[in-house]
């Protein structure tokens, strides 16, 4: 079943509940939620991110970025390098599935030429893809988590990055130790242009220094079009088409986000969110317990929906209530939502990431899962951070 159909059914069920309230009252709740500023900002950012993705891909930025990264890798760190490249590209692109689509053919080529297990190579790619899915400034998960919890993306990035950095370092070491005695030489010519890599660098650096996300994405789109036209990859008559195709690719998640906001508004009015809050609170003791509650809720909902962005949108209001009740820093609650939905999304065999990786490589998701070190280590680091790195709203500055 398409995800949007499932959520429309859920919305219909929500409308049928609570007969004490009239249909018009429920419609008022729904329309008010649809027009919420956070929901609209999130949807606009989704659209802008899609436009950038379409423009930069048409301009040759994906191929150049991949080839540039591979051209500077020593042979002995091929698989570890795939993970590092995946981290960089997914952070720049903001999409794990797009990263997997770009790197999976390279991973298969390296496996064929070196004898390294294909599952290990693609496991490195998926692991790197989930790194950026969690941290990228233009990832829909980051956008949803930050808007839902009321924090700045750069602040969430800083809080999130230092929690997952040990997981990334350990993952690099694992892949390096597994393949340190391997050697290979790619026969194909890895052509790249630093000019074509420029849009990614502008978006990444602009986001890191705190420039407004809309300004960053618009700049990325404009620079991508200039590069694409000047390099001959995009015809002047096709400029708006490539941007439009990227925007269209984000329609599903945009509409789903609006429908989920409608469902949440009715569930809240019907007392459902309060019921969940009471259930979680009854098992929470202090700020640390609240953080565990947010993490487990995010992981569970992602396993049910198989979409980490949708899971964040659905659990966001509950997480915000919990964080306000137990004085959890918004940066921490946003990080936990993003991390633990990414943990779930990175290891469930029916998620888009593993399904696309399996389709592109001829493997099965269950063959890839044992090599997904980073998502599992990210979960371990998240748990350790909750236990040993308590963070209070009172100790932070805005």
* Residues forming beta bridges with residue 328, ordered by sequence position: 392
pLDDT by residue for the chain (398 residues), tens only, comes to: 777 888 899 899 999 988 888 888 899 888 888 887 767 877 887 788 788 878 888 888 777 776 776 677 666 687 898 899 889 888 877 778 778 877 787 788 778 767 788 899 999 999 999 999 999 887 888 888 998 898 888 889 989 999 999 999 999 999 999 887 766 555 556 677 888 888 877 876 776 576 777 887 888 899 999 999 998 888 988 899 999 998 887 787 788 878 888 887 888 788 877 787 678 777 888 888 999 999 999 998 888 777 888 889 888 888 998 898 888 999 999 999 999 999 999 998 878 788 878 877 888 889 999 999 999 999 999 999 999 887 655 444 44
| Residue linked to tokens 């890839």 | 368
Label residues 376-389 b or e (16+ Cβ within 10 Å = b).
Answer: bbbbebbbebbeee
What's phi and psi for 35, nearest 5 deg?
A: -90, 5
Residue 94's region, left for phi above 0, alpha for psi from -120 to 50, else beta, is left
Q: What is the pLDDT of residues 142-170, one digit of tens each?
A: 888 998 898 888 889 989 999 999 999 99
In this structure, are residues 92 and 132 in contact, taking their beta carbons and an 8 Å threshold?
Answer: yes
How far is the CA of 87 from the CAs of 91, 93, 120, 144, 224, in angstroms? Answer: 6, 10, 16, 20, 21
């Amino acid at each position: 079943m398409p995800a949007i159909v499932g959520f429309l059914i859920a919305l219909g069920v929500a409308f049928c509940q609570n007969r004490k309230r009239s249909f018009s009252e429920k419609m008022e709740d729904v329309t008010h939620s649809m027009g919420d500023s956070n929901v609209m900002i999130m949807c606009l950012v989704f659209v802008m991110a899609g436009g950038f993705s379409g423009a930069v891909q048409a301009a040759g930025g994906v191929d150049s970025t991949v080839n540039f990264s591979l051209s500077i890798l020593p042979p002995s760190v091929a698989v570890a390098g795939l993970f590092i490249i995946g981290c960089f590209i997914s952070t720049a692109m903001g999409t794990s599935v797009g990263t997997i689509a770009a790197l999976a053919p390279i991973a298969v080529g390296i496996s064929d030429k070196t004898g390294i297990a294909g599952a290990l190579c693609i496991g490195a790619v998926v692991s790197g893809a989930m790194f950026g899915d969690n941290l990228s400034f233009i990832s829909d998960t980051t956008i949803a988590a930050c808007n839902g919890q009321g924090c700045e993306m750069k602040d969430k990035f800083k809080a999130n990055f230092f929690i997952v950095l040990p997981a990334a370092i350990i993952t690099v070491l694992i892949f390096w130790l597994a393949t340190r005695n391997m050697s290979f030489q790619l026969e194909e010519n890895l052509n790249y242009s630093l000019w074509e890599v420029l849009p990614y660098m502008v978006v990444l650096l602009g986001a890191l220094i705190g420039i407004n996300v809309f300004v960053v994405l618009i700049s990325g789109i404009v620079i991508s079009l200039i590069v694409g036209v000047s390099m001959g990859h995009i015809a002047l008559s096709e400029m708006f088409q490539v941007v439009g195709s990227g925007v269209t690719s984000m329609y599903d998640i945009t509409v789903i986000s609006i429908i989920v906001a409608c469902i949440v508004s009715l569930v809240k009015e019907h007392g459902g969110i309060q019921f969940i809050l009471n259930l979680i609170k009854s098992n929470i003791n202090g700020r640390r317990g609240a953080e565990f509650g947010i993490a487990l809720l995010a992981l569970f909902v992602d396993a049910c929906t198989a979409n980490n962005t949708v899971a964040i949108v659905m659990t966001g209001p509950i997480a915000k209530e919990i964080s306000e009740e137990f004085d959890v820093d918004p940066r921490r609650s946003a990080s936990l939502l993003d991390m633990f939905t990414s943990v779930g999304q990175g290891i469930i065999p029916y998620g888009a990431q593993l399904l696309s990786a399996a389709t592109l490589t001829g493997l099965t998701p269950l063959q890839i899962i044992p090599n997904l070190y980073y998502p599992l280590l990210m979960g371990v680091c998240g748990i350790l951070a909750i236990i040993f790195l308590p963070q209070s709203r009172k100790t932070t500055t805005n």
